Structure 1
């Protein structure tokens, strides 16, 4: 390796190291993915709430459920408040029927989501849309114990309200809507209800963002989350669902696991770069050169020319003519499929019909061949004449007259 190459290698290494340093130290953008997973500390994770539940309910057992409700509730002796919070929830019919049986026995189910199949309970929802961009959203709990305090939210989200409820068994607990710059309400709807079912209750809520890290860590909105959670019973366990989560772990391959961590990802890239350098330098140093093997030449034509020149130089025209006549007969046997044991009028007719030559031309060619057979020697002119007649005969077969 010469000096110039070494300089290029050093510059390349410094460039790679500098790039890795900048990538590892640059400020990462905020991840607004709606995870709702208890392990995530991103804005829309529920890490803070999962840690604070023990403080909010010191006398209540908190259980984390990582399997589907359908499987967990196979044991009909389970009791508690099943707590669901996620972007959307899609229970199967059999699973939701099992939740209904769970509530009917005196347990509660709390569901906070933007979208859920709740036709079974005769509930319908739709999106509440503001008329002007400068309007603010508000949330309010109806219970007088909360003194009509209203809360807001400064992030874009899908504001769902109930358009159809079972008025006989349902209690409205909270509302949402929009106010304009004059503090006048322009839109309003129900977003939090309590539905009595058997001996228990369904709590249906359409603003899951209230339980995320972003809301709970922003004063005074964490009080709104606490007010909603105050409806949960303290005499039975809280069953925190960790199965129905948009951001739950789904590691499907080792590569995906490596790339999910910033430090593991850059360690993986460094290994790849190291392997690349090894291939470039070590492979070039130890690889043996592959010799170029020249393929063997076809010497048949050269050999034929040598033999022909030898005959021609020795003036053995008769031998050359005999060979050409023999090759002509072989040609007729293989190409025209005509036997050459007897050369007569019938032979001439067969050859003429299959070669495209006239009978006179065929007869003239083979009469001349007979003359050569009878002579001991022939001249140059006679050899050339024979050759021309044979070539003309063959060309007629290949290309026609």
Structure 2
């Protein structure tokens, strides 16, 4: 089967574009992902790989399940830490209740996010909100309140202008661990039962860009040093969902790769164009078939010539008479059994042929029917009268 040229053009275009996107120099991705698998500036791979050494643990499990599942399924250590580094921390009410119960039993929760759900803030006595940028904003210096952790000159995170900070609603139960240059809290500890919540308002500080920058590389580790060295869990469900790379579907993977995303859309667009312009049913040209002609008259003429050439005048004359009488019955509705004077008069009236000509024709036909053998002369006379009748009727 001959390949469809439109599909070939679409296939070559998609493959060429995919290769071009794959091999061209990749621009730096400044997306704030906070994912432990991302090497981009604002991913968190560097911190995640260094965290086991800080926590004095062989490894730090990366959780791809909701908070509810982690805290209700399976047996947890007697004491542990639960770390959340993300842009927005918005658990459900049931998950907040489980976190409060988890901390009250002597565990610790570390949360660094620009936005933290109000339900948790009201319970613990703080409030946070992500404010819109302003042209007059400038990058603010951040530092720890603990003299042993403070850095001369402080820490400057150039990609955060200090718009966001924590508002203390119940300051009596909150310990401020870090402030910005305006003395606004950005890092606090809230005791709850036998454990503590650590709330931080600058997640960019924990990304690859600042963990690997010598000027700010120790900030993340100083902040996390408040957690005791015990089993620690790193949450990835909020950022990546439930499925890891080995469980991802084909489309889930496609939509994580910019080149494949554009190739996917290009395929869809090409298929739509193909359906519009080349989707019609293709087939060979249908030949023009002329309508069948009525060859009855030609057939009769051929048979007539055959009888005449064989000198079968009697048979030819009788068939000519039979055909004529059938014509009279069909066209004028007359009974042709008896060919008498009344028949001739009626036929003349209905056909419009002169009565004298009809009378002569009827007599000859009647005589021919009575005759036992017709000659060529009689055949010619009968044929001449019949043809004259036809011409007169048609005229």
Choose from 247, 253, 256 the match for 1:257: 253
Partner of 2:92: 92
Following superposition, the deviation at residue 123 of structure 1 comes to: 1.9
Partner of 1:218, secondary structure, is coil
2:198 maps to 1:195 = no
Secondary structure at 2:198's aligned position in 1? strand
Note the C-alpha offset of 1:49.
Answer: 0.6
* Partner SS state of residue 84, structure 1: strand
- Find the counterpart in structure 2 of residue 31 from structure 1: 29
1:245 corresponds to which of 239, 243, 251: 239
- Residue in 2 that maps onto 1:46: 44
State the match for 2:357 in structure 1.
Answer: none
Shift of 1:376: 2.2
Note the alpha carbon deviations across 1:39-80, whole angstroms, 9 max, x for none.
111112111011111232335763332322212212565330
Alpha-carbon displacement from aligned partner over 1:68-112 (angstroms, at most 9, x marks no partner): 221221256533011111111111111111111111011111111
CA gap 1:299/1:130 in 2 versus in 1, 3 angstroms: closer
Q: Partner residue of 2:128?
A: 125
Q: 1:322 aligns with which of 303, 322, 332?
A: 332
* Match in the other structure for 2:106: 106
Aligned to 1:69: 67
Partner of 1:83: helix, strand, or coil? strand
Where does residue 308 of structure 2 map in the other structure?
none
Pairing 1:171–2:167 present? no
Distance 1:129 1:15 in 2: 42
C-alpha contact 1:36 1:247 (8 A) present in aligned 2: no
CA distance in 2, matches of 1:241, 1:214: 20
Aligned to 1:141: 144
CA contact (8 A) 1:210 1:216 kept: yes
CA shift, 1:258, in A, is 5.1
Larger Rg: 2
Query: Do 1:37 and 1:247's aligned partners in 2 also have CA atoms closer than 8 Å?
Result: no
2:367 matched residue in structure 1: none
Q: Secondary structure at the match of 1:193?
A: strand
Partner of 1:360: none
- Between the aligned partners of 2:48 and 2:225, the Cα distance in structure 1 is 15
The question of whether the paired residues in 1 share the 8 Å contact of 2:36 and 2:48 is answered with yes
Alpha-carbon RMSD: 4.6
Q: Distance in 1 between matches of 2:193 and 2:16?
A: 66
Q: Does 1:224 align with 2:242?
A: no
How does the TM-score come out when normalised to structure 2?
0.60
Give the deviation of 1:132 after TM superposition.
4.4
Whether contact under 8 Å (2:139, 2:160) holds in the other structure is: no
Contact kept, 8 Å, 2:127 with 2:166, in 1: the verdict is yes
Q: Is the 8 A contact 2:36 2:236 kept in 1?
A: yes
Tell me if the contact between 2:105 and 2:194 (Cα under 8 Å) persists in the aligned partners.
Answer: yes
Q: Tell me if structure 2 keeps the 8 A contact 1:34–1:246.
A: no
1:267: how far off?
Answer: 11
How many residues were matched structurally? 295
Note the C-alpha offset of 1:175: 1.3
| CA positional deviation for 1:134 | 6.7
**Other structure's SS at 1:168 match:** helix
> Where do 1:318-357 residues align within 5 Å?
321-322=331-332
Matched residue, 1:205: 200
Contact (CA 8 Å) 1:86, 1:246: kept in 2 or not?
A: no
Unaligned stretches of 5+ residues in structure 1: 1-11, 178-186, 270-287, 326-370, 384-401
Counterpart contact for 1:317–1:378, Cα < 8 Å: no
